[in-house]
Structure 1
Amino acid sequence: MLNLTTPALLFPAISLLLLAYTNRYLALAGIIRGLYDDYQQHPSDKLVQQIGNLRRRIALIKGMQSLGVGSLFLCVVAMFMIYTGWPQSAQYIFGVSLLLLIVSLGMSLLELRMSTDALNILLSDLVAAERERQR
C-alpha cells in the first residue's frame, strides 16, 4: 500500500537531478556560444560538426528535463490522490512517475555517452597533432 511519504521521498532526488540537468544545459550553452564566435572568425567544417553534436545533446537535455519535471508533477498528483482518498489511482500515477524518471535517467546516460565520444574525438586529434609535431 502506497502512503503519502513514498512519493515524497523522490522530491530531493528529482530536484537534484533537475539541477544537474540544468547545469549540463548551461555548460553546453556556453560552449555553443564560444564555438559560434570561433566560427564567425574562422569558419570550419569541424566546428559545424561540433555544433551539430551539441545541438543533439541540448535536445536530449531538454527531453531529460521535461521527463524529470513530469515525474515530479506526477509525484505531487499521486500525493494529492492519496490525501484525497484515491490510493489505487495514486499507485498507477506514481508508477508512471517512476517510468518517466527511468526514461529521463536513460536519456542522461545517452547524453553522457555522446559527451564522452566528443571528448575522445578531440583527444585523438590532439594525439595525432602531437605525433605529427614530433616528426
Structure 2
Amino acid sequence: MEQLTLTTPALLFSAISLIMLAYTNRFLAYAAVIRNLHDKYLKEHDDSLLRQIKNLKLRLNLTRWMQIFGISSLLFCVLTMFLIYVGLQLTAIYIFGFALILLIISLALLIKEIQISAEALQHHIADIEEHLEKK
C-alpha cells in the first residue's frame, strides 16, 4: 500500500475552504431572498410566492447538507493528518478515503442544487416570456 504523507490531506484544505465559502455565500443569499419573500407574502398572500418559498426551502436544505458533508470532509482530513502524525498509517489511509467520499457527496449535492436553481430560473423566464406574448 502506498505511503500517505501529511501534505496529501493538507492539499484539500484550501479547496474545501473555498468550497465552504461558496456554500456559505449561497446560504446567505437564500436567507435574504426567503426573508424578502416572507415579507412580500405577508402583504400580498400570493400563491406563486409559496411555490418560490418551497423551492428555496429545498435549495436551502441541500445547501445545509452540502455544508455538513464539506465540513465533515475537512474534519476527517484533519483527523487523517493526526493519524499520520501518530504513526497510524493504515487507519489514516482509510479515514482519508472516507473524507474524499464525503467531499464527493458534497459536490454531488451541489450539482443537484444547481439543477434546481436553473430550473427555477427557467420558470421565471417562461413567466416573463408569457407576459410579453400577451402584450
Fold conserved between structures, TM > 0.5: yes
Q: SS where residue 45 of structure 2 aligns?
A: coil
Name the counterpart of 2:10: 8
1:69 aligns to 2:88 (yes or no): no
Distance 2:89 2:7 in 1: 13
How much does 1:41 deviate?
1.0
How much does 1:45 deviate?
1.2
Q: Percentage identity across aligned positions?
A: 47
Distance 1:130 1:35 in 2: 24
Name the counterpart of 1:60: 62
Q: SS where residue 3 of structure 1 aligns?
A: coil
Moved over 2 A (4+): none
1:93 aligns to 2:98 (yes or no): no
How much does 1:42 deviate?
0.7
Q: SS where residue 5 of structure 2 aligns?
A: coil
Name the counterpart of 1:28: 30
Name the counterpart of 1:122: 124
Distance 2:134 2:32 in 1: 31
RMSD: 0.5
Q: SS where residue 85 of structure 1 aligns?
A: coil
Aligned residues: 133
How much does 1:3 deviate?
0.6
1:104 to 100, 103, 106: 106
Distance 2:119 2:36 in 1: 20
Q: Where do 5+ consecutive residues of structure 2 fail to align?
A: none
Distance 2:80 2:47 in 1: 49
Per-residue CA deviation, residues 73-105 of structure 1 (Å, 9 max, x unaligned), is 000000000000000000000000000000000
